[in-house]
Copies of this chain bind each other. A is one copy, B any other.
C-alpha cells in the first residue's frame, strides 16, 4: 500500500459523493503582494485599502481570482491528478469577500459522470465550494474534467450529466453596493454607460511568461498538478515541456484587461471558460474583451458580461478567436465568459 496519493480515477467518483479537500489555506497580505507581482493585477479595488473601504469593503479584499485559484488548487489532488483535460467551468459565483486572515477550505460534490465512447476515459462533473473559517461559502463553481479509468474493462456507469446554465442569470448575481467610487483613481472615466453590447476592446499590452513565474504562482495556489512543475517527466509527454496552469492565463489576461476595463474591477460570476490552447514559458500573452451583455443590478451598480480572450505571440487588434472552420484559431489560449460589476 503506497502512502503517496495515487489520485482518483473515473471509477472512484460517485455521483452524490462529497470530497473535503486537504490543507485549508490562510491567505494574507503576502498573497496579495505576490498575486500582484506575478500577474500585473492593478485594479484599484484590490490595490488600495482606502479605495476598497470607500467602495464598501471592510478592508483591502483579496482578488476573487486569487481565491478561485486557491480553491481550485485544493481540488487537484482529489479530482484532476489523473485528468486528461480540464473541459469547462459553469455557474461560478463569488458570494462573499475574502480578506487577509481568512482561511479557505474547498469542498466538492460530485454531480455527474459519463464514460467516453473509447472506454478509456470519462467526464466527471463537480460543484466545488470555497468556504471561509466561519463556514460561509465565498465562491462556488461547477467544473468538469476528463479523467482516466483505472481499469479500461470496467463497465460504463449510467450516464448522469447535470443541467448547467449557459451563463449566470443576472437576477442571481451578487450585488455589490459601491458607496463611493473614484473613477480617476481607478484609472478610467468609462463606467457602465460607456460600454455597449457587442463592443470589442483590444487590451494592447503583452506579457511574456517565464518558467519561474508560472511555477511560483501555481505553488502559491498550492496546485500540485505534475504537468506544471516536472520538466524531466514532461520530456516524455505530448508537448515535451511543462504546461502552464490555465489559471495563470486567466489571471494575466484579466490583469491585461485593466487597460480598457479599469472600472470593471470586481469579478462576480464565471459563466464559462475554455482553455483553447496551451501556454508555454517564453510565450507572450495578449488579450481582448467583448461586451456580451449588460445588466443593471441596482441604482448605482451594473454588470458587464464579458468574453475575455487570450492569444499568444500575436496582437489582439483584430480580435482573434475562431477560424473559418469554427475551431479556435492558432495561438488562442483562452475563451472565458464572466460577469464583472461596474459603477453606473
Complex Cα spacing A37 to B32, Å: 13
Do the beta carbons of A34 and B34 come within 8 Å of each other?
yes
A219 with B36: CB separation less than 8 A = yes
CA distance in complex: A4, B202 (Å): 7
In the complex, whether A213 has a CB less than 8 A from a CB of chain B is yes
Residues on the B chain within 8 Å of A97, using CB: none
Residues 7-30 of chain A, each 1 if its beta carbon lies under 8 Å from chain B, else 0: 000000000000010111110111
Q: Is A197 an interface residue (CB 8 A)?
A: no
A5 to B185, CA, bound (A): 14
Measured CB to CB, the closest approach of chain B to A310, in angstroms, equals 13
Instruction: Decide: A24 and B48 in contact? CB cutoff 8 A.
Output: yes
A284 contacts partner chain B, Cβ-Cβ < 8 Å: yes
Give the oligomeric copy count: 3
Tell me the complex Cα distance, A224–B188, Å.
15
Q: Is A136 in contact with chain B by the CB < 8 A criterion?
A: no
Determine the chain B residues whose CB is within 8 A of the CB of A242 once the complex forms: 208
Q: Once bound together, how far apart are the Cα atoms of A101 and B50, in whole Å?
A: 10
Whole-angstrom CA separation of A298 from B224 in the bound complex: 34
Which chain B residue lies CB-closest to A255?
B219
Contact of A224 among B30, B37, B205, B215 (CB under 8 A): B205
Q: How many residues of A contact B (CB 8 A)?
A: 78
Which of A112-120, A151-159, A164-172, A258-266 is near enough to bind chain B? A258-266
Residue among A26, A188, A242 with the most chain B CB within 10 A?
A26
Of B34, B47, B220, which one neighbours A26 at CB under 8 angstroms? B47
Min CB gap A83→B, angstroms: 15
A 29-71 contacts with B by CB, 8 A: 29-34, 36-40, 42-44, 47-51, 60
Cβ of A142 under 8 Å from chain B: no
Q: How far is the CB of A42 from chain B (nearest CB, A)?
A: 5
| B30 & A43 in contact (Cβ 8 Å cutoff) | no
Please name 19 further chain A to chain B contacts, defined as beta carbons within 8 Å, in addition to the given A24-B50, A105-B185, sorted by A numbering.
Answer: A2-B260, A4-B204, A4-B260, A5-B187, A20-B185, A22-B187, A22-B188, A23-B47, A23-B48, A23-B186, A28-B33, A30-B32, A33-B34, A36-B219, A38-B219, A40-B224, A49-B103, A206-B233, A232-B284
